[in-house]
Amino acid sequence: MEELIQIIQANIQYAPLMIFGLLLLAGFNIPVSEDAMLFISGLLASQNPDYLFPLFFAVYLGAYFSDLICYGLGRKFGPKLLKISFFANMVSPERVTKISNYYEKYGIITLILGRFIPFGVRNGLFLTAGLGKMNFVKFALSDLLACTISVVIFFTLYYNFGESIIDVIKQGNMILFGLVAVGLGVFWYRKKQAEKEA
């Protein structure tokens, strides 16, 4: 990570383009961490105030367009993607059905919470939204709100606190992940109980 920061710092005038481009690659499920790009852009902006707005908009637009690309892959190629082991390991047909149901039931909340869960969950959500044929306008607007919330929060934290906030964010993400897992477990349990009674 430090080497990447040094490379980008040495070419600061190109940093917004590099960050934007790397995030677009993430939309194709190439392993580029949105969290790392947010951290790098926030840290660089704090060290190079003249580049604050270009870096912010690079990471913001890169994250948003990356989501749209991932959604588009799912929508355009649909079930064909599930025949490719790389994508099939990320999103099983059962998972597509479950997440599609969450989108139907909870809508935008699914995207907002999903954006705060790392470890590839984000792309799985966006790909599933496309596979499940979620309405594009609904997805684009919902994700715009979710992306705005998460990017503004994380960029601001990294800009103001730098590396000192990373451990706090990791712990917060793990807590959120745990809460979502518990919530899904309760939802699944209640659904099974309702099916037994019916």
Q: 118-144 pLDDT, tens per residue?
A: 656 777 788 888 887 888 998 899 899
| Domain residue ranges of the chain, discontinuous segments joined by + | 2-197
Q: Kindly state the average pLDDT of the residues 3-11.
A: 79
Q: Do the beta carbons of residue 37 and residue 5 sit within 8 Å?
A: no
What whole-number distance in Å separates Cα of residue 7 and Cα of residue 11? Answer: 7
Please report the pLDDT score of residue 192 as a whole number.
Answer: 72
Position of tokens 């790397």? 22
In angstroms, rounded to a whole number, what is the distance separating the alpha carbons of residues 114 and 42?
21
Phi, psi angles (nearest 5°) of residue 84: -90, 120
> 17 near 55, Cβ under 8 Å?
no
- Matching residue, tokens 């003249």: 50
What pLDDT, in 10s, does the model give residues 86-112? 666 666 677 677 777 777 777 778 777
In the block, tokens 């709100």 appear at 145
Indicate the SS3 state at residue 99.
helix
DSSP state of 82: G
Q: What local confidence, expressed as pLDDT, does residue 90 receive?
A: 62
Inter-residue contact 154 to 35 (CB < 8 Å): yes
Residue 67 to residue 131: CA distance in whole angstroms: 13
Residue 65 predicted with pLDDT over 60: yes
Residue owning tokens 């690659």? 25
Are 130 and 74 spatial neighbours (Cβ–Cβ below 8 Å)? Answer: yes
